[in-house]
Amino acid sequence: MRRENKEKKEQIIFSGIQPSGNLNIGNYIGAISQWVKMQDKYHCIFSIVDYHAITIKQDPNLLRQRIIEVTKIYLAAGIDSQQSIIFQQSTIPAHTELAWILNCYGAHIADLNKMTQFKTKAGEHQETVSVGLYDYPVLMAADILLYNTDLVPVGEDQKQHVELARDIARRFNNEFGEIFKIPQPVVRKDGARIMSLLDPTKKMSKSDDNQNNAIALLDSLELAQKKIMKAVTDSGSEIEYDLENKPALSNLLTIYAILGNREIPRLVKDYRGQGYGKFKKDLAKVVEKFLHNFQEKYNNISDNDVRQILEEGRIKAEALASQKLSEVRKLIGVR
Ligand code: AMP
Ligand code: TRP
């Protein structure tokens, strides 16, 4: 028993979010809420992955502001900077350097051609989007592999990228010996894919043009309430969890359960015969309460606190990353 605990403490977690768009409750439920729970058990490293964000055009001033904003969101959600390392990706050049090396060793064109996120994001413009957008999963592999990461907690949509990181690590290891740990994705059972409020076939996304699809973590309480009341529901009137026939309602039930700390079967029982109207009103209250508590914490964090935390994180992460990178440089023969 003791040994098992000790082993857990030694495991390393790495994850990150791009400072693009307004972070929403999907990001919180799918990713950040998992991270908070993992802090006690594992060594955690959480990054604000700004070099991933620039694979799509960003306004420089807005990007600068969002790097601070995402850091505050991590902290307000309960990531503890004493316990976990929080850092900004671009402040550690080892990430882009290892990505380049992995481009040459381990990453194949055929892998990148399979990435569904690239296909969705590039859409009709596959030939004219940036090379960075195409190569994005290799930078993500570098992020993960630099830190001997065991586990990568992400939402469902990122699983394929973590699997690619595994393939790249294996290929590199086959050629040069056991240098990279093989990471594993961790995806939560419920809530790994929160859907849009207006279209339950689409994921709730922070880069969506129509902001009514998502509830941002920094939305005003009034706006959040309006968005819930406008959320689409399915035909019928019974509150049921049925992904096939009632996808919109099932999504709302998942949000209710996770943000309100309730069990879905229990909610279904409690709302029997009550109709969608009452359910949505109550859900709006649950969301408002969650946002209120979250934003209270968020507003108490100053920009200076953030700068200091990112600098401390940079120093700690850099020490780990530079060690791995110098081993890699030697192996491939540039040192
Ligand atoms: P992104 O918004 O793509 O930068 O994603 C940041 C993190 O949030 C990743 O781990 C995603 O998998 C997760 N995530 C994004 N959107 C959702 C969603 N709608 N439901 C659950 N997780 C999500
Ligand atoms: N690609 C991830 C996303 O959009 C963000 C990310 C970059 C990441 N590097 C990572 C997540 C490393 C986990 C581990 O959500």
pLDDT in tens, 238-296: 999 999 999 999 999 999 999 999 999 999 999 999 999 999 999 999 999 999 999 99
Determine if ligand 1 sits within 6 Å of the CB of residue 203. yes
Which of 13, 18, 157 to probe ligand 2 with, by most ligand atoms within 8 A of CB?
Answer: 18
User: What CATH number does the domain located at 2-187+302-332 have?
Assistant: 3.40.50.620
Known catalytic residue at 297: no
- Show the ligand 2 pocket: residues with CB < 6 angstroms: 14-18, 49, 52, 140, 143-144, 152, 154, 158, 161
Q: Is the pLDDT of residue 84 over 50?
A: yes
SS3 of 63, please?
A: helix
**Distance from Cα 155 to the centre of ligand 1, integer Å:** 5
Predicted pLDDT at 208? 87
**Distance from Cα 22 to the centre of ligand 1, integer Å:** 12
Report the pLDDT averaged over residues 113-130.
93
Full-model pTM: 0.94
- Calpha distance 101→46 (Å, rounded): 23
SS3 of 179, please?
A: coil
Q: Is the pLDDT of residue 49 over 70?
A: yes
**Distance from Cα 269 to the centre of ligand 2, integer Å:** 37
Report pLDDT digits (tens) over 19-46: 998 999 999 999 999 999 999 999 999 9
Predicted pLDDT at 17? 97
Predicted pLDDT at 1? 44
Nearest to 258 by CA among 32, 38, 73, 29: 29
Name residue, tokens 């991590």: 74
Q: How many helices (H) and strands (E) does the chain have?
A: 15, 5
- Calpha distance 46→287 (Å, rounded): 25
Report the pLDDT averaged over residues 216-228.
97
Q: Is the pLDDT of residue 217 over 50?
A: yes
Nearest to 163 by CA among 180, 140, 146: 140
Determine if ligand 1 sits within 6 Å of the CB of residue 139. no
Higher pLDDT, 111 or 208: 111
Nearest to 167 by CA among 248, 252, 241, 110: 110
Known catalytic residue at 57: no
Nearest ligand 2 atom to the CA of 49 is: 7
**Distance from Cα 56 to the centre of ligand 2, integer Å:** 14
Ligand nearest to the CA of 115: 2
Ligand nearest to the CA of 26: 1
**Distance from Cα 174 to the centre of ligand 1, integer Å:** 32
| CB 48 within 8 Å of CB 20 | no
User: What CATH number does the domain located at 211-298 have?
Assistant: 1.10.240.10
Report pLDDT digits (tens) over 159-190: 999 999 999 999 999 999 999 999 999 998 88
Q: In what order do the strands lie in the sheet with 151-153?
A: 85-88, 43-48, 12-17, 151-153, 184-186
Average pLDDT, the chain: 95
Ligand nearest to the CA of 200: 1
Domain boundaries, the chain: 2-187+302-332, 211-298
Determine if ligand 1 sits within 6 Å of the CB of residue 249. no
Predicted pLDDT at 73? 98
Indicate which residue's Cα is closest to atom 6 of ligand 2. Answer: 16
| CB 45 within 8 Å of CB 12 | yes
Indicate which residue's Cα is closest to atom 15 of ligand 2. Answer: 17
| CB 257 within 8 Å of CB 267 | yes
- Calpha distance 165→150 (Å, rounded): 12
